[in-house]
Amino acid sequence: MSYEHKLLEDDYTCAYGGDPVKELDSFRSAVEKAMRGVKTVGRDQRTAWVFIEDNPMAMGYIGYGDFQSSVVGDSKYVVYARDVHNGKYGEYSEQYYMRMAVNIDVAVKHAKRFMRKYTTDEIAEVCARDVKKAVTTIVSKAKDDYRNAQASAGVSTNSHTSATEDLMSELFNMVRGGHTFVNAELDKNVRDLMVKKSDADRFKGQTLPLDFLRVYKHYDGMRVDITRIADITSYTMKPMYEHKHTYLANDLPDDLAGKVAVMSMCEDKHFVEGVGYRVNEAMFYLYVEDVTT
């Protein structure tokens, strides 16, 4: 399994049955005391997420129990964090991201060493997975609609051949020139094909950049970090910049503020084609109009 990135909800609640083990309570208190600004919230009876209130991502989790994967062993204190690389386990196992210790003081040191808050760029990359799914659905539908429109108009669905391209070009030129086909259904189908081809061509051989906006509290007021995902359809979805801009909330450009206002009226995890995607009330992905900047 890959590393579990956790976006915490605003109320930081966790629903699970039973009371946590007493050693976990002691571990949580020790970590909160040792790490400035850090809090914990129950994940299950053996583990708890570790977070900083003004950061939406958990830095990882701490726990107490037997977390060994292949053998039964004694209970230990465990720190699970993305900066841990435990070579005793395979890279795709949960234990690969764990440091274990018998002594609670050693475990607290592990937490201080390996747990760190997420940067805006890291959050942009983690949360982009849901946006990619939404965009991929739009792209796939546009391509399917285009192929169906070709079939309805009696045009080969193999649009990569020169003969097909030439035929469609001639048909579209006739329509643009004011021609109306005698066959009403054919006329409708050709015009629909023009629209569907235009929609599909928007995604043909092009990247699709999105700007990620994160609003957060700062000592000088509300701030907005912006970083860009160079291509939301790519495999990695790596940020193109490190903090392309940071604004005071009141100084956010009108075009971005307008899009945020539109997406603010939507529910969480809602996608609007041509506008963007709302993660929650503080984080958004917005379509980029000027891709040269």
DSSP conformation class of 213: E
Nearest alpha carbon to residue 79 among 19, 35, 123: 35
Domain ranges of the chain: 22-118, 124-201
The percent helix, strand, coil of the chain (3-state, each to 5) is: 35, 20, 40
* Pairing verdict, β 283-287 and 276-280: antiparallel
The alpha-carbon radius of gyration of the chain (Å, integer) is: 26
The answer to whether 217 touches 233, Cβ cutoff 8 Å, is no
> How many other β-carbons are positioned within 10 Å of the β-carbon of residue 190?
22
**Which residue from 68, 67, 51 is spatially nearest to 59, judged by alpha carbons?**
51
**pLDDT tier for residue 293 given thresholds of 50, 70 and 90:** very low
Token pair listed for 132? 């990619």
Task: State how far the Cα of 240 lies from the Cα of 218, in Å rounded to an integer.
Answer: 24
- What are 191's two structure tokens? 């015009």
Query: For the segment 111-158, what is each residue's pLDDT rounded down to a tens digit?
Result: 999 999 999 999 999 988 888 888 888 889 999 999 999 999 999 887
CA 138 vs. chain centroid, Å, equals 16
φ, ψ of residue 202 in degrees (nearest 5)? -60, -25
Q: Is the pLDDT of residue 254 over 50?
A: yes
Predicted confidence (pLDDT) at residue 291 exceeds the cutoff of 90 = no
Within 10 angstroms of residue 151's Cβ, the number of other Cβ atoms is: 13
Q: What angle do CA 115, 116, 122 make, to 5 degrees?
A: 125
- Percent of the chain at pLDDT above 70? 92
Per-residue CA distances from 79 to 1, 42, 91, 94 (Å)? 17, 14, 16, 11
- Among 109-113, 198-202, 287-291, which range has the highest average pLDDT? 109-113
